[in-house]
Structure 1
Amino acid sequence: MADAVAPRSRPRGRRRGQGLRRAAQAVIRTGELRALTGARGIAAWLVVFYHLRQSLPPVPAWVMAVLDKGYLAVDFFFVLSGFVIALSWGARFDRERWQAAPLFLRRRFARVWPLHAVVLTGGVGLALLLWVTGRHDPVTYPFVDLPIHYLLIQNWGFAYLAWNEPAWSISAESFAYLMFPALVFALRLERRRTATLLLLSGGLIALQAGVFAVRGVWTLGQFIPQLGLIRCVTGFTLGMLVFRLFARRGRHPALAGSATAVVAATLALGFAGLAETLVAPTGFAALVLLLALTAGRRNNPLETAVLHRLGEWSYATYLAHFLMWKAFKLAFVHAPGPVEWPLIALYAAMVLLASALLYHFVELPAQAWINRPRRTGTPKGAPALR
């Protein structure tokens, strides 16, 4: 898609021009915005350590404060997902209208469901082991709810958090994928003025904050079975809006500076105690825009080989780590209280290895099989980031 690759106007200054050209060439060469992939890897591990935080040995207070907010990485994922889906598929839907929907939904199914099914089946195996040893927990592992978990509809208002808890966000994203074609045609974002895009973004964030406030909630991690779907659709739609701003980057040379200022302001407001329901989505929208605008720049720390690999494995890391921690504690942790650092390191290494194996032997083969060529073809220039 041309509007997702190259700037549309002449940049100011030779150095700025070279940076933008390198960014555009990187997208053309690799088919992805590598900085977003690297950021996704960091976010996945923030979620991992969020779930570990109560089992860690003593850490500095500021570290624990960061880990206590690790659940917000999920909201970053929602915004990132909306951005990437709009980048990958927006132009195709503009071109083919509703005819693009079946292929889009098949690609999304291939992306999220096979790995979810494999990890959930591992959780079933763990629950059966606990059952035969007399330690089954019917609240954490309710066999009666397994069908809705396998169908990925558990967070559509049907159940509480159970089985592989992080999969609630994948369930919510599946709903957002179903909504995406309708959002494309209903919002017509490519036709909106930049000021309108900003107003829509602000209104969407305010609407979400209002819904949470009605429930007496000022943080995003509460009442997930009831509010998680709203949280996801808000972030996903916000990502679509952010992409339209990114697509106009050539017309707005100060966009990166503005995004940087918004990120800094939201950090300051967050520390000052302003409602998380307002601050977090605003900051993540600006952060995704900033990361996209700076992708491909020389010496970008988010584009190192290590972070890029972590980003490629991030979906497996996100889905597998929770149940792996349950199993790890059963096998290696025999006393309550903090877990020693060598065991934490061992667990992290096992998650890393499992992520690599799941990515190469489950994710990629399943996608290749489900997405095998058909007459409809594939979208040209679609980024590898999904």
Structure 2
Amino acid sequence: MSVSVTPLAPKPRAGGASLDVLRFLAAGFILLFHFSESAPRPLSDLIPVLRQGWLATDFFLMLSGFILMRAYGPALAQQRFSPVSFVIRRVLRLWPSHIVALLLMLLVVGLATLQGHPPGHPEKYTVWAFWEQLILVHGWGLSDTPGWNVPTWTLSALVVCYAVFSLCAGFVFRWRRSALITALVVVLALALAVAAIIGHPFVDLPFRFGLVRALPLFFIGALMERLTTGLAVSDRVYAVGMTLSGLIVVGLASLPRHTLSDLIILGTLAAALVLSAGISLPETLLTRRLGRSAYALFLIHSVVGGIALGLDGMLVHRFALPEPLHWLSWCMCVAAAIASAFVFEAWVDRPLSRWVTARLTGGVKAEA
């Protein structure tokens, strides 16, 4: 008599589902922040935390360092590929879809201008700004004004983060806990000192100082990953910790700005990142799609907003829409941006990523 054995389902990856969802929520926060002023009433008046657009950007930068250390730290430590190879692979993961989104933005701005509706801030849409953005150097402090697809300054800054990370990740990966803690304190102290010299809070330094902001945050995330490697979080601890983190962030972000509250918020975001990386939740098709579409939402929401919010404004002006209908129209713009992100991921970002991966040899996949 034969006995059939049902194979055990693979154990969920720590942080697999939770980090995917968190990444999408961060992209969604950035979307709402950028769409806020076009709502019937500014969302920041209704939800004060939305005044703090830096929250999601800083979290995104820390998350990037955290994930890169988890995914590539061992390989860099073991010298399975060179720093140059690593940087090329990472840039090729970001650049093709970025180019498509930028060209779509050029098309939208060009057609609108030809139809007699030029952009409200033409200084943001210069030829020089376009070329800076095309080659991903627009976040390196070469100009004062962000333009075109504004959120992508962080991608430009990440290129530099990747280069520095590729040179030092192998050493950091072998550091003991005391050295990691010391490095974390030094990085934060240096960041605060430079921000004090500039005369602006570190967490939302002006565009020209994007690298000064991005590099410390990226490496704070990378160091946090090494400090908490192997940490397992129970469902109860995760639920309580994330609830408290949310309350702290929303509460402090709703109060007048202060350096101390900014640092507490930053620390709370880091804690939420660690909690999410330590919980093993079941991965589903939805969580995987959310994780993959987060980058697409980050890239494409400004392009879709340029079209949808423009039409929304025309409808309100032409038909004098009452506030409830204006809210409905605005919500449809948000929904259109989210839906477009899923379409962009499936039809543009994923095929381009696979195409690049197929042409890279050995080691690390570009789509990771």
TM-score, normalised to structure 1's length? 0.78
Once the two structures are superposed, the pairs formed by residues 199-238 of structure 1 within 5 Å of their partners are: 199-218=182-201, 220-224=203-207, 226-238=208-220
Runs of 5+ consecutive residues of structure 2 not aligned to the other structure: 1-8
- Aligned partner of 1:320 in structure 2 is 300
- Cα deviation for residue 264 of structure 1 reads 8.1
Relative to structure 1, the CA distance from residue 61 to residue 371 in structure 2 (aligned partners, 3 Å threshold; closer, same or farther) is: closer
One-letter code aligned to 2:175: R
Relative to structure 1, the CA distance from residue 264 to residue 343 in structure 2 (aligned partners, 3 Å threshold; closer, same or farther) is: closer
> Is residue 2:130 matched to residue 1:150?
no
Question: Among residues 282, 291, 313, which one is paired with 1:311 in the alignment?
Answer: 291
Question: Among residues 83, 108, 113, which one is paired with 1:101 in the alignment?
Answer: 83
- Aligned partner of 2:4 in structure 1 is none
- Cα deviation for residue 203 of structure 1 reads 2.5
> Is residue 2:337 matched to residue 1:355?
no
- Aligned partner of 2:158 in structure 1 is 173
Structure 1 stretch displaced more, 164-173 or 276-285: 276-285
One-letter code aligned to 1:136: P
Whole-Å separation in 1 of the counterparts to 2:112 and 2:252:
46
- Kindly provide the CA deviation profile for residues 184-209 of structure 1, in whole angstroms up to 9, marking residues without a partner as x: 14xx2233332332232222222212
Structure 1 stretch displaced more, 86-95 or 276-285: 276-285
Relative to structure 1, the CA distance from residue 266 to residue 199 in structure 2 (aligned partners, 3 Å threshold; closer, same or farther) is: farther
One-letter code aligned to 1:113: W
- Aligned partner of 1:14 in structure 2 is none
Relative to structure 1, the CA distance from residue 277 to residue 176 in structure 2 (aligned partners, 3 Å threshold; closer, same or farther) is: farther
- Aligned partner of 2:96 in structure 1 is 114
- Cα deviation for residue 86 of structure 1 reads 0.7
- Cα deviation for residue 63 of structure 1 reads 4.6
Whole-Å separation in 2 of the counterparts to 1:39 and 1:87:
16
Whole-Å separation in 2 of the counterparts to 1:281 and 1:370:
35
> Is residue 2:258 matched to residue 1:239?
no
Relative to structure 1, the CA distance from residue 333 to residue 60 in structure 2 (aligned partners, 3 Å threshold; closer, same or farther) is: closer
SS of the residue aligned with 2:40?
coil
Question: Among residues 278, 297, 300, which one is paired with 1:293 in the alignment?
Answer: 278
> Is residue 2:178 matched to residue 1:192?
no
Whole-Å separation in 2 of the counterparts to 1:315 and 1:211:
30
SS of the residue aligned with 1:166?
helix
Whole-Å separation in 2 of the counterparts to 1:60 and 1:369:
40
One-letter code aligned to 1:115: S
One-letter code aligned to 1:109: V
One-letter code aligned to 1:78: L
One-letter code aligned to 2:66: F
Quick check: 2:177–2:227 contact (8 Å CA) kept in 1?
yes
- Aligned partner of 1:17 in structure 2 is none
- Aligned Cα root-mean-square deviation (Å): 3.3
- Cα deviation for residue 328 of structure 1 reads 1.6
Whole-Å separation in 1 of the counterparts to 2:326 and 2:287:
26
Whole-Å separation in 1 of the counterparts to 2:104 and 2:77:
40
Whole-Å separation in 2 of the counterparts to 1:323 and 1:210:
36
Whole-Å separation in 1 of the counterparts to 2:131 and 2:159:
16
One-letter code aligned to 1:112: L
Quick check: 1:106–1:371 contact (8 Å CA) kept in 2?
no
> Is residue 2:353 matched to residue 1:367?
yes
- Cα deviation for residue 163 of structure 1 reads 0.5
Quick check: 2:195–2:205 contact (8 Å CA) kept in 1?
no
Relative to structure 1, the CA distance from residue 277 to residue 230 in structure 2 (aligned partners, 3 Å threshold; closer, same or farther) is: farther
Whole-Å separation in 2 of the counterparts to 1:64 and 1:265:
13
TM-score, normalised to structure 2's length? 0.82
> Is residue 2:58 matched to residue 1:69?
no
Quick check: 1:324–1:351 contact (8 Å CA) kept in 2?
yes
Structure 1 stretch displaced more, 208-217 or 316-325: 208-217
Whole-Å separation in 1 of the counterparts to 2:263 and 2:42:
29
> Is residue 2:73 matched to residue 1:85?
no
SS of the residue aligned with 2:82?
helix
- Aligned partner of 1:56 in structure 2 is 39
- Cα deviation for residue 152 of structure 1 reads 0.7
> Is residue 2:111 matched to residue 1:125?
no
SS of the residue aligned with 1:107?
helix
- Kindly provide the CA deviation profile for residues 157-186 of structure 1, in whole angstroms up to 9, marking residues without a partner as x: 12220011111111111221122111214x
- Aligned partner of 2:147 in structure 1 is 162
Whole-Å separation in 2 of the counterparts to 1:284 and 1:292:
12
Relative to structure 1, the CA distance from residue 369 to residue 199 in structure 2 (aligned partners, 3 Å threshold; closer, same or farther) is: same
Structure 1 stretch displaced more, 42-51 or 264-273: 264-273
Whole-Å separation in 2 of the counterparts to 1:279 and 1:243:
19
Quick check: 1:47–1:70 contact (8 Å CA) kept in 2?
yes
- Cα deviation for residue 290 of structure 1 reads 1.4
One-letter code aligned to 1:236: F
Quick check: 1:48–1:321 contact (8 Å CA) kept in 2?
yes
- Kindly provide the CA deviation profile for residues 97-140 of structure 1, in whole angstroms up to 9, marking residues without a partner as x: 6x433442233123211111011001111221133234434312
- Kindly provide the CA deviation profile for residues 259-286 of structure 1, in whole angstroms up to 9, marking residues without a partner as x: 9599589647665854155334322222
Identity of aligned residues (%): 24
Whole-Å separation in 2 of the counterparts to 1:59 and 1:154:
29
- Cα deviation for residue 292 of structure 1 reads 0.7
